[in-house]
Structure 1
Amino acid sequence: MDQRTTLHSLPQAPREFGFWLDGAWEGGRPLFERASPGHGVAVTLTPKCTVADLDAAVAAARRAFEDRGWAGLSGAERAAVLLRAAEILRRRRDEIAYWEVLENGKPIAQARGEIDHCIACFEVGAGAARLLHGDSFNSLGDGLFGMVLREPVGVVGLITPWNFPFLILCERVPFILASGCTMVVKPSEVTSATSLMLGEVLAEAGLPKGVYNVVTGSGRTIGQALTEHPDVDMLSFTGSTGVGRSVVHAAADSNFKKLGLELGGKNPIIVFADADLEDAADGAAFGISFNTGQCCVSSSRLIVDRRVAAEFEAILAAKMKRIVVGDPLDEATQVGAITTDAQNQTILSYIDKGKAEGAKVLTGGAAIELGRGSYIAPTLFSGVTPDMAIARDEIFGPVLSSFTFNTTDEAIRLANDTVYGLAASVWSKNIDTALTVSRRVRAGRFWVNCIMAGGPEMPLGGFKQSGWGREAGVYGVEEYTQVKSVHVEIGKRSHWIK
């Protein structure tokens, strides 16, 4: 931490970063100035890298992979590095959270909680590194033995978004490393600081040079070049479904690299009449307001039993009005600033569309003026119909649309009435209802009487247009491997040529 700053004040001058190449800082590039979305003052300076810089990073990752200095280690040896990284993150938790807040605008208390989750990701990744294994087939007869090997896929490109710069990074990096792969990371240009700081952490933990590289710059240049790069074996992309579609085309047009995609969501939260309505309302308020709704698994569609809809909406609106929106560096803040000006305008435009289409605002529905920064009040719309833009589009902000249903089948139909399938939640005290809904709603993550719960032991990913593949846990390590079948003949060959 810079001695001129504290955890609750702004830096006196923006912090300048290099980019992370082959285990060391590289500088000498033009710089991008990032202003804090919560305060409007410059906080970081990060390099505008070139495609040549990206090529150098990919080459470093390729050398590090081919020399077997990482891939050739035992799972136990890789696990030791990941555990040391977890300890260093624990020591630097407050510092990393501070810079995450300054670039992203999320509340400081939330950021610290996210770093705790990141530490857990490294610890789970360490365990997964030791547990990763193949298989054997002793069923091929006395003359043949079969083995299935899991081998690291190679050089991985990792493109991460601005909404959870460090958390999404750490839901992938430890598991990619556990598999034995090397990588090149391209963070969002507006939130690059903590991805760069992880390079220092991993180097101190003993990660060999070239295994982790970070190249900063725009998605249009660096991101596109990474996607198209012929020497990248796999690409992991987290972002919108629209951009994900272009990633698929670019990967196909280059080298048919393997893809992992976590894309958009329009996630339902289904509330039955027998639910604990106070609990469900708190879950719904949290689910749409966490990270200012800039969360791919935000519960943005409330589907509530018509018999209790009016009562539930009143409870929920009252709760949402009490959410503390304010300065991200204030410990009391629950909802911070909108991360970019463009996203702020997008959210406000959807609020205007909801009003114009006839939905009723029960709370929120406007920007909050705090003198500096961009803030939006958590917003609840009632009387929403499936044809409205706020019902169908991923808004990526604190805007919740409320629908009603009469039967379980209707609730399931409404929940599945979307091109997305990332996450869903159901609230009911009836186990039959909860299990029926959780099995029939098409989503990669599902919560029963909770929201955004769980840890890195469990896989993350979506159905339909919400993406391909799974991250985290043992599934997340396996995602970055390829399977090889090995056949071993035993004894004398039966000759084909007599």
Structure 2
Amino acid sequence: MDVNSAVWTVPARAREFGFFVDGQWAEAGDRPMSERKSPAHGVAVTRTVRCTKADIDHAVRVARTAFEDRRWSGLPGGERASVLLKAAAGIRARVEELALLESLESGKPIGQAIGEIEGGANIFEYAAGAARALHGDAFNNLGDNMLGLVTREPIGVVGLITPWNFPFFILSERVPFILAAGCTIVSKPSEVTSATTLLLAEILSDAGLPAGVFNVVTGSGSEIGQALAEHADVDMISFTGSTAVGRSVLLASAGNFKKVGLELGGKNPQVVFADANLDEAADGVVFGICFNAGQCCVGGSRLVVEKSIAAEFEALVAAKMARVRIGDPLDPNTQMGAIVTAAQNATILDYIEAGKREGARLVCGGEAYPSDAGQFVRPTVFADVTREMSIASEEIFGPVLTISTFETFDEAMAIANDTIYGLAASIWTSNLDKATDAFRRIRAGRVWVNTTINNGPELPLGGFKQSGTGREAGIYGVEEYTEVKATHIALGRREPWVS
């Protein structure tokens, strides 16, 4: 849809939600509610339930029953695909509603929110095809008396914990693939951006998903999310968020040795060689750090630039940074919106002050962006950054770019890989051989050449090193939620072992 085709306004009162279990809405009852204020406007926009551990137990029981009676896992792939396609249509029919809630809760520009909702529908459509394509193998080379089969079976009940930075899009990179595999789900969205996850439950139900297959329980990550990660009747946990919390999820999974999928933090390099198209590279670098106000796990926060062009390129980046349109997320012309919470805003500003103290040279930005309401940060660039500085190695999760220089290809690769993370990287060069050598040597789950943060559901995503385990999206994303079983079928009469 055209972002300019609607009038976008802050609602007069907060929209209130229950939670969704066993195919129906559950009321808050005597449970407390969480009120979410728009980070850009400072007014309440949604109210959601603070569920209890008992609610988690109930949701898991419901999901277990739905899995074991095979109301979903026993269906042909074509029937699952039909539900996913209807869900995609349901998402498209409610784009404006979903996008407005996404923008109000997260602070992201409305145009970006619309793009992410529509992108989510695209993923559901792709996953519908994957539901039909999932298959195993046959081994006809075991002799005339034996046939071997390898089948993929749904892993079971999946606990899904999603973050606040891309609430609907990251949800859509997981849910349709989990459903395509035949699993059931208990989903726990971030407590500050729960609305669109709850509405997806309604959309899926309207699309014909059987009751109990997709359940949403809301509340804090430290209590409800932890309870889901620890739950003994959950077969797999999928978590997207910080590396620190991911570590606690991994430890929590040890109780029943559940499978774990983790997409965690990143400190992603943007490697710019002297032979690149510098104007295009500068535009990509600015987009890579300003997209979603820098609150993007795959955003390029480390600029690694060839020394011979460093001064020229720094000037190009600074000039483009100055033209980024910051402001009200409901203004269709806004390119960079608000920081999601006051705590995250304070963290970003603290890192900016640390960069100044540690001796980095401030190129531009370096302060809050003035606003009558909400919290915003100017896009910030630091040059002359050394590896000892905290801004060089720690994930800031804000619009803060650091610049380091290199003289040789090997030095560029060493700097790019000098991190505990390995989530994403971008390479800018006009030399195909150089680009190929670079993307082979950089240790990251996703690498872009002459572009950044640009992908579709066909290719997998995930991280190396402390950026996570497992892969989402593509056919890999369906296989991630399956168990592999080997079956040997004896043919003909058995030769007696006991005579």
TM-score (norm 1): 0.98
1:73 to 62, 75, 89: 75
Query: 1:79 touches 1:129 (CA, 8 Å); kept in 2?
Result: yes
2:258 aligned partner: 257
Q: Deviations over 1:335-366 (max 9, x none)?
A: 00000111000000000000111111111111
CA deviation after TM superposition for structure 1 residue 306, in Å: 0.2
Q: In structure 2, what residue type is equivalent to 1:232?
A: V
1:256-295 to 2 correspondence within 5 Å? 256-295=257-296
Regions of 4+ moved over 4 Å: none
* Equivalent in the alignment of 1:21: 21
Mapped partners of 1:314, 1:386: distance in 2: 22
Q: Is it true that 1:121 corresponds to 2:88 in the alignment?
A: no
Amino acid at match of 1:242: A
| Cα shift at 1:30 | 1.6
Distance 1:78 1:473 in 2: 17
For residues 329 and 472 of structure 1, the distance between their equivalents in structure 2, rounded to whole angstroms, comes to 30
Alpha-carbon separation, structure 1, partners of 2:204 and 2:32:
26
> 2-side partners of 1:10 and 1:35: how far apart?
11
- 1:310 counterpart SS class: helix
Q: Within 2, Cα distance between the matches of 1:428 and 1:495? A: 68
Pairwise CA distance, 1:118 = 0.2
TM-superposed deviation, 1:150: 0.1
Please give the per-residue CA displacement for 1:184-243, whole angstroms capped at 9, x wherever unaligned. 000111110000000110011000000000000011110110000000000000011111
> In structure 2, what is the equivalent of residue 210 of structure 1?
212
- Alignment pair present for 1:161 and 2:198: no
* 1:138-185 alpha-carbon deviations (Å, 9 max, x no partner): 111111100000000000000001111111111000000000000000
Contact 1:7 1:95 in 2 (8 A): no
> Alpha-carbon deviations, 1:402-430, whole Å to 9, x = none?
00000000000000000000000100000
Match of 2:302 in 1: 301
Deviation at residue 483 of structure 1 after TM alignment: 0.2
For residues 30 and 388 of structure 1, what CA distance do their matches in structure 2 show? 43
Query: Take 1:495 and 1:295, find their aligned partners in 2: how far apart are those partners?
Result: 64
1:32 has 2:34 as partner: yes
CA deviation digits over 1:239-267, x for unaligned, max 9?
11111111111111x10000000000000
How many angstroms apart in 2 are the aligned matches of 1:8 and 1:249?
43
Q: SS at the partner of 1:497?
A: coil
Given that 1:7 and 1:94 are in contact with CA atoms closer than 8 Å, whether structure 2 keeps it comes out as no
Q: The residue matched to 1:43 in structure 2 has which SS?
A: strand
2:334 pairs with 1:340 = no
Paired residues of 1:7 and 1:98 also in contact (CA < 8 A):
no
- CA change 1:7–1:477 in 2 (3 A) is farther
Q: The residue matched to 1:433 in structure 2 has which SS?
A: helix
1:117 Cα deviation after fit: 1.0
Whichever residue aligns with residue 363 of structure 1, its letter is: C
- 3-state SS in 2 of match to 1:376: coil
Structure 2 equivalent of residue 3 of structure 1: none
Please list, as runs of the form range in 1=range in 2, the aligned pairs for 1:101-112 lying within 5 A after superposition.
Answer: 101-112=103-114
- Structure 2 unaligned regions, length at least 5: 1-5
SS of 2:300 mapped into structure 1: coil
For each residue in 1:301-358, what CA deviation from the matched residue of structure 2 results, as whole angstroms up to 9, or x when unmatched?
Answer: 0000000000000001000110000001000000000001110000000000001111
Q: Report the CA distance between 1:486 and its aligned residue.
A: 0.5
- 1:413 corresponds in structure 2 to 414
- Amino acid in structure 2 at the alignment position of 1:47: V
Other-structure match for 1:316:
317
Q: Which amino acid aligns with 1:64?
A: A
Whether 2:88 is the aligned partner of 1:86: answer yes
SS in structure 2 of the partner of residue 102 of structure 1: helix
Partners of 1:300 and 1:77 in 2: CA distance: 43
Residue 490 (structure 1) shift? 0.7
Task: Please name the residue that 1:62 is paired with.
Answer: 64
Equivalent position of 1:8 in the other structure: 8
State the AA in 2 paired with 1:485. Answer: A
Q: Distance in 2 between matches of 1:177 and 1:303?
A: 40
Q: Which residue of 2 aligns with 1:371?
A: 372
Q: Which moved more, 1:101-110 or 1:25-34?
A: 25-34
Q: Tell me the SS of whatever aligns to 1:461.
A: coil
Is 1:360 the counterpart of 2:361? The answer is yes
The match for 1:46 is 48
- Counterpart CA distance in 2 for 1:289 and 1:442 is 23
List per-residue Cα deviations over 1:262-287 (Å, max 9, x = no partner).
00000000000000000000000000
Task: Output the amino acid matched with 2:310.
Answer: A
The 1-side partners of 2:192 and 2:7 are apart by: 20
Aligned length: 492
Q: Say yes or no: does 1:134 pair with 2:136.
A: yes
- The AA in structure 1 aligned to 2:16 is E
C-alpha distance after superposition, 1:434-453 (max 9, x if no partner): 00000000000000000011
For 2:496, give the aligned amino acid. Answer: H
Partner of 2:442: 441
Query: d(CA) in 1 for partners of 2:398 and 2:138?
Result: 49
- Residue 192, structure 1, aligned to residue 208, structure 2: no
| TM-score normalised to structure 2 length | 0.98
- State the Cα distance separating 1:7 from its structure 2 match: 4.5
CA distance in 1, matches of 2:398, 2:495: 68
The answer to whether the Cα contact below 8 Å between 1:391 and 1:401 also exists between their aligned partners in 2 is yes
Structure 1 equivalent of residue 231 of structure 2: 229
| More deviation, 275-284/22-31 | 22-31
Q: Which ranges of structure 1 fall in alignment gaps of 5 or more residues?
A: 1-5
- What is the rounded CA distance, in whole Å, between the counterparts of 2:121 and 2:330 in structure 1? 22
Distance in 2 (alpha carbons) for counterparts of 1:48 and 1:452: 34
